[in-house]
A and B are shown apart, each in its own frame.
Chain A
């Protein structure tokens, strides 16, 4: 198992699991699997940031990764 820090922004924050700052998950879980395991609707996620860098949903998570998920923002 590995530990990650998960942050969900704006409308996604309601899906934030307990202990999100130190979330235990199996090693090499993909972001896509992470979203499905924790009931985060993938179609609402537009941007995936791992340790401050944009990644896609196939990215396989490593210990201590900081994960941020962002919905589409387009207002002016």
Chain B
């Protein structure tokens, strides 16, 4: 997908990315699970940078409380499924991206089937227990996960490879029984959601291109009131 019907589409990717890397991205398959504050930003960035195949999954529809931060939400899209809006947005940005969109909540019964053909999964979920289900399925399918989570103006990003302990190191062994974190009290602010989505997108490219420093067994923590940016060792 280096050649495009829009000549010059990827010109400004070069030479931060090589033409060979651009081609690799064009052949890459990424599943984005959760199309809210994080997932909307991730879709936008992956489509623009040229990831060639996107599977976009969310069972939810937009409501007014999404408008403060979710890039895909618009006033006239209230009650419209997020996955439909995501597909339309990606098509509008880059019609050469092959999009498979699913208006569907994922759980233990369908997670593996939906992600098994991806090269990488972007965890943009908003519940902790489903993240554990995702990790189990991704490990079975031998797929890496790039995970983001936000609360207020704080966020965290990590990358989990097959065989890693992953979420257990972040949320504890019993974390899988927990649904929500402190975001139920802090809400989520737009610039933090998009900031963490950007970090996730960067991490996604590095994994796909096998390049740069990857947050494996590490947790990048950011807190924007205090401009705290730290990378912590999880093991």
Contact = CB atoms under 8 A, between A and B. Distances in A.
Task: Report the 5 A-B pairs with minimum CB-CB distance, sorted nearest first.
Answer: A75-B183, A74-B181, A76-B126, A72-B181, A74-B128
A73 B219 CA distance: 12
Given A10-B152, A46-B172, A70-B221, A76 B125 contact: yes
A76 B221 contact: no
Contact of B39 (A7, A71, A72, A76): A76
A10 B235 contact: no
A33 B71 CA distance: 44
Nearest to A74: B181
A44 to B, nearest CB: 8
Counting chain B residues whose Cβ lies within 8 A of the other chain, the interface size class is: 35 or more
A75 B188 contact: yes
A76 B34 contact: yes
B156 interface: yes
Given A11-B182, A46-B171, 20 more contacts: A9-B223, A10-B151, A11-B185, A47-B219, A49-B232, A52-B233, A54-B235, A71-B151, A71-B182, A73-B181, A74-B127, A74-B149, A74-B178, A74-B181, A75-B126, A75-B183, A75-B186, A75-B188, A76-B36, A76-B37
Interface of A: 7, 9-11, 44, 46-47, 49, 52-54, 68, 70-76
B228 A73 contact: no
Contacts of B126: 74-76
Interface of B: 34, 36-39, 124-128, 131, 148-152, 154-156, 169-172, 175, 178-183, 185-186, 188, 219, 221, 223, 228, 230-235
30 contacts: A7-B228, A10-B151, A10-B186, A10-B223, A11-B151, A11-B185, A44-B182, A46-B171, A46-B172, A52-B230, A52-B231, A52-B232, A53-B232, A54-B169, A54-B233, A54-B235, A68-B232, A73-B149, A73-B181, A74-B131, A74-B151, A74-B178, A75-B37, A75-B151, A75-B180, A75-B183, A76-B34, A76-B37, A76-B38, A76-B148
